[in-house]
């Protein structure tokens, strides 16, 4: 796509408008310097509906009102000096649909719902005139997020269909918001599924894969289609696929709110996976159909830059895109009571925008949880030193990044060419130690690169997520000669590494019950056969379920596993010296005033032989023995000579009262 004359003229006019709105053509750095000009609004009252659209390069804009698919009215909009077009339509228009049509250089562009539509028709090509108050479920006004201590945060990533589509889930609305909101669901074996399972496991934050409207699925067709949803089309309205009635614009909103309230009532916080780094095909997106060439980064030849690997990348450094991201996220917090956000390909966004997001959302919710992927699919078209890459996480207080350090150290490389610590592979010890301290500077860790976290709360510890093979499939591929018993020991050791690290632990749905995706790596659009969790696995692998549940309970019971600051980690965590590249041990010590335990010993043996560790002499409560974890204690261990032998592929946790 080449820049024609109207786009070139338009970009120049945008720059002029932004100069007026911002008093600067440079990216805004403070919250009070982003433009005050509205971007896109539909304000309904029974007497009249007001429409606004920021389109400073347009020579004309019309808003079209539809009754179903029939055009009922077309209204010319008027423009103000700041490039904001406005029209007010008298009468009660609730239930009608609307679309904007922008004309630039004599050419009418394709209709669009705008860029801030809050309610949509099927497939999101038109907005819907609704009264948002009518979408609130009973008790919504009193809905509040649970109070969760920072030291107890455990993130559980899930997809609506993964959790509820299989018949064994026992839900009435499989694959839907309401299906995930159901209580009392049970498998054929009588075990808790869905929301009740999350409560039973003890997780605190539920990370929902992309929930805003995306362009990958035809909402008018039967709802057995599957997609992760990383193809955003409309950022401020829920995806219709997960609604029981995609044709009802209010239903999808009400049903998502019902789910949020159900999770809050169950003591769970809600995190949305957001994808502001790129959009669906630009020619179908409101950004390009309102102000062509502005919201994206464009190459000199007029083509779209593609740091996302998905065809385009957005330009967070531009004032109105920055404003858009901030206000969109604020809307989700205010209207849907969302408690946190995970940013897809966060490194495409600039650091100043991410810091502004933190500041603005923290003002709404001091406990807001923000984290993201500290990488991009390819080099973004912007100054790398100003982007939110993992290595610059320390510059963004209150924002965390996924740690591929601990991930790769524990389970091996992305390409499956080599296993990790749990496979007994040498060369992963220092990277694992770096993950254990939560990515902060520590005198006993040899860094291959500079520590990237200013605090361990900026470090998301994990071994798998929706991307890539899940843990069982990796183990079966990399260790085909191992018995299932040995592979389960490896899975337990991987989870122990995550949950005893100082970072924030993160687990992908179903890993606690040894799910499989039948060996497939990228199941983003594959059917339920590959993605839906078979809940009979919870019975088959109940021992692993109990092990992970025990790890979560242990972490909640002992704040020493989440010390919170880099200084505390350096003062209270020391490694146990051992000459074995596939064994790591550490001591949490001097915990008076921090924990009920005086000292905590964690020993991990990834090798295939017994390993003897030197530990402080004394009497210990035995918490974990490689097979099970019981926070109140399995028994006692007297380290009279200060030594303990740890079995192959296992972890031991000991505590001194």
Q: How far apart are CA 461 and CA 447, in angstroms?
A: 17
Crossing angle for the helix pair 542-557 and 484-499, to the nearest 10 degrees: 20
Asked if 29 is an active-site residue, the reply is: no
Tell me the H-state helices in 202-337.
Answer: 249-265, 286-290, 319-336
309: left (phi over 0), alpha (psi -120 to 50) or beta: left
**273, 373, 473, 512: which is the annotated catalytic residue?**
373
Distance CA(517)–CA(176), nearest Å, equals: 21
Which is catalytic among the residues 121, 213, 306, 344?
344
Widest pairwise Cα distance in the chain:
88
CB-based contacts of 484: which residues, under 8 Å, 6+ apart? Answer: none
Asked if 344 is an active-site residue, the reply is yes
Which of these, 461, 498, 466, 545, lies nearest to 197 by C-alpha position? Answer: 545
DSSP 8-state code for residue 612:
E
Residues 227/526, Cβ–Cβ less than 8 Å: no
Question: Taking Cα atoms as reference points, which of 154, 148, 103 lies closest to residue 503?
Answer: 154
- d(Cα 128, Cα 629) in Å, to the nearest integer? 52
Between CA 614 and CA 624, with CA 618 as vertex, the angle to 5 degrees is: 70
Q: Is the dihedral of CA 292, 295, 298, 303 positive or negative?
A: negative
Residue 508's CB: how many other CB atoms inside 10 A?
A: 23
Tokens of 610: 């017994």
| Tokens 């990277």 sit on residue | 431
**Contact (Cβ atoms closer than 8 angstroms) between residue 388 and residue 374:** yes
By CB neighbour count within 10 A (0-12 exposed, 13-18 middle, 19+ buried), where does 407 fall? buried
Burial class (CB in 10 A: 0-12, 13-18, 19+), 225: middle
d(CA 295, CA 323): 11
Catalytic positions: 344, 373
């Amino acid at each position: 796509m080449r820049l024609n004359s109207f786009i070139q003229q338009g970009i120049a006019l945008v720059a002029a408008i932004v100069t007026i709105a911002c008093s600067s053509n440079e990216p805004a750095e403070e919250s009070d310097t982003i433009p005050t000009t509205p971007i896109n609004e539909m304000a309904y009252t029974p007497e009249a509906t007001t429409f606004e659209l920021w389109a400073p390069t347009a020579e004309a804009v019309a808003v079209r009102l539809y009754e179903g698919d029939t055009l009922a009215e077309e209204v010319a909009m008027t423009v103000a000096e700041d490039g904001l077009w406005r029209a007010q339509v008298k009468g009660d228009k609730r239930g009608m649909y609307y679309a904007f049509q922008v004309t630039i250089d004599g050419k009418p562009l394709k209709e669009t719902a705008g860029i801030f539509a809050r309610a949509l028709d099927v497939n999101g090509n038109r907005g819907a005139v609704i009264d948002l108050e009518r979408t609130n479920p009973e008790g919504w006004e009193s809905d509040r997020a649970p109070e969760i201590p920072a030291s107890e945060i455990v993130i559980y990533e899930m997809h609506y269909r993964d959790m509820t589509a299989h018949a064994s889930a026992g839900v009435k609305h499989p694959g839907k918001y309401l299906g995930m909101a159901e209580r009392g669901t049970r498998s054929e074996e009588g075990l808790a599924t869905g929301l009740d399972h999350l409560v039973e496991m003890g997780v605190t934050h539920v990370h929902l894969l992309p929930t805003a409207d995306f362009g990958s699925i035809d909402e008018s067709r039967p709802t057995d289609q599957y997609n992760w949803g990383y193809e955003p089309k409309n950022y401020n309205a829920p995806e219709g696929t997960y609604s029981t009635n995609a044709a009802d614009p209010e239903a999808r909103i009400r049903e998502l709110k019902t789910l949020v309230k159900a999770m809050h009532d169950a003591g769970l916080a809600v995190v949305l996976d957001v994808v502001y780094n790129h959009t669906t095909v630009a020619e179908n997106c409101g950004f390009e159909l309102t102000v062509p060439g502005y919201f994206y980064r464009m190459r000199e030849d007029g083509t779209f830059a593609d740091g996302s690997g998905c065809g385009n990348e957005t330009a967070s450094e531009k004032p109105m895109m920055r404003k858009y991201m901030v206000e969109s996220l604020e809307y989700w917090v205010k209207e849907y009571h969302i408690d946190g956000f995970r940013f897809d390909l966060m490194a495409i966004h600039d650091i100043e925008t991410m810091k502004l997001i933190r500041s603005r959302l923290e003002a709404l919710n001091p406990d807001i949880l923000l984290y993201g992927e500290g990488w991009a699919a390819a080099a973004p078209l912007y100054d790398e030193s100003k982007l939110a890459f993992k290595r610059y996480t320390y510059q963004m207080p209150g924002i965390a990044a996924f740690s591929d350090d601990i991930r790769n150290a524990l389970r091996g490389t992305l390409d499956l060419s080599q296993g990790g610590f749990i496979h007994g592979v040498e060369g992963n010890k220092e990277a694992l130690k770096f993950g254990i301290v939560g990515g902060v500077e520590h005198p006993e860790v040899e860094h291959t690169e500079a520590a990237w976290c200013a605090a361990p709360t900026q470090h998301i510890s994990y071994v798998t997520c929706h991307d890539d093979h899940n843990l069982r499939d990796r183990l079966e591929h990399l260790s085909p000669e191992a018995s299932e018993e040995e592979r389960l020991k490896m899975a337990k050791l991987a989870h122990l590494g995550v949950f005893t690290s100082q970072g924030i632990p993160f687990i992908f749905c179903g890993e606690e019950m040894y799910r499989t995706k039948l060996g497939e790596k990228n199941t983003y659009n594959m059917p339920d056969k590959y993605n839906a969790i078979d809940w009979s696995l919870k019975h088959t692998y109940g021992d692993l379920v109990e092990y992970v549940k025990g790890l979560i309970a242990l972490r909640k019971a002992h704040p020493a596993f989440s010390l919170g600051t880099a200084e505390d980690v350096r003062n209270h965590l020391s490694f146990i010296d051992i000459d074995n590249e596939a064994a790591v041990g550490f001591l949490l010590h001097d915990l008076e005033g921090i924990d009920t335990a005086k000292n905590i010993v964690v020993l991990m043996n990834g090798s295939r032989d017994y390993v003897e560790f030197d530990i402080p002499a004394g009497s210990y409560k035995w918490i974990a023995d490689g097979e099970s974890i019981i926070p109140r204690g399995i028994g006692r261990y007297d380290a009279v000579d200060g030594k303990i032998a740890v079995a192959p592929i296992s972890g031991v946790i000991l505590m001194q009262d």
